[in-house]
Amino acid sequence: MTRRAGLAPAVFVLLWSTGFVGAKYGLPYAEPFTFLALRLAIAGVLLAAITRARQGGWPRSWTQTWHAGLAGVLLHAGYLGGVFFAIADGLPASVSAVVVSLQPLLTAALATRLLGEQLRPRQWLGLALGVAGVALVLAPGLAASGGSFPPVAVLSCVVALVSGSAGTLWQKQHGDQIPLLGGTAVQYAAAATVLGLLAVTTEDTSIDWTVQFVAALAWLVLALSLGAVLLLLALLRRGSASGVSSLFYLVPPATAVESFLVFGERLPPLSVAGIGVTAVGVALVLRPPARNG
């Protein structure tokens, strides 16, 4: 059981990093809010069915329902909606990853004030190394892009960054007492509702049902919305918000490796060095303190 729990962070990073691949495959066939509303609606229905079959429990009060719903809007509608909109609007996925990867630093800074979490100097050093490592991984791609990005897309990515950090803190503060399966189903329902409203008011909601789109949708629902998100919420229950958020530093490097393996995109030496720096930074944040005696 301990060994399985120890593998959970690595599995989470592996699954979460594939979200950029899913976006790349799916967004040409549906607009971002339409795509995400459909994804989360399907995931919510599946999770509700699983909750009922396993008698996993539902939020026990309107207060818990409200807490779960707001967490869902922040973590899914705000974070995912911002990233998908930015990529669809022309912001390179690598640039989106740079902005969103600042979430651990923002979460850690806010957690010290809002949740009373105490970070040791070693952990602050790890967070700084994480930022530096991500920058090294993505520096070659950023230099090649020329540095001219759509302002609205950049703003959308900043919204995703703030929403993801706020959602992580809200979930850590209010989500521990909410049943995991039922609470996540409520999160998806709330996020799908917000994204659906955005879709019908700003998009034409048309979908080109290609095999590629269906494959991307299926992967994002099953591996991301059911697998990775439930794993994230479980990790938050047993760890600090800042420690768990530091795992997001590993997502851009993992995505870079996947792009090399799947698409043959070569990793420059600077990016390889960045992967090592990032791994060291995360290890410093997550390593438990030494016990005396």
Please report how many Cα atoms fall inside a 13 Å half-sphere around the Cα of residue 141, on the Cβ side: 24
CA distance 7 to 266: 28
So what's the pLDDT on residue 24?
Answer: 77
So what's the pLDDT on residue 10?
Answer: 84
So what's the pLDDT on residue 211?
Answer: 95
Residue 169, number of CB atoms within 10 A of its CB: 24
So what's the pLDDT on residue 145?
Answer: 57
So what's the pLDDT on residue 141?
Answer: 65
CA distance 127 to 280: 10
Within 146-228, residue ranges assigned H as helices are: 151-174, 180-202, 211-219
CA distance 289 to 198: 45
Q: In the block, which residue shows the tokens 């707001």?
A: 70
Cβ atoms of 212 and 101 within 8 Å: the answer is no
CA distance 211 to 218: 10
Give the list of residues 6+ apart from residue 178 with CB closer than 8 angstroms, or none.
59, 64, 67, 68
In this prediction the pTM is 0.78
So what's the pLDDT on residue 30?
Answer: 96
pLDDT along the chain (293 residues), means of 10: 65 84 86 96 94 85 95 94 88 72 73 71 83 76 63 87 88 84 93 97 96 94 89 78 73 74 72 79 68 46
Q: What are the angstrom distances between the C-alpha of 253 and each of 38, 80, 155, 231? A: 28, 19, 23, 20
Closest by CA position to 233, among listed 151, 177, 159, 292: 177
CA distance 58 to 61: 9
Q: What angle do CA 70, 21, 136 make, to 5 degrees?
A: 90
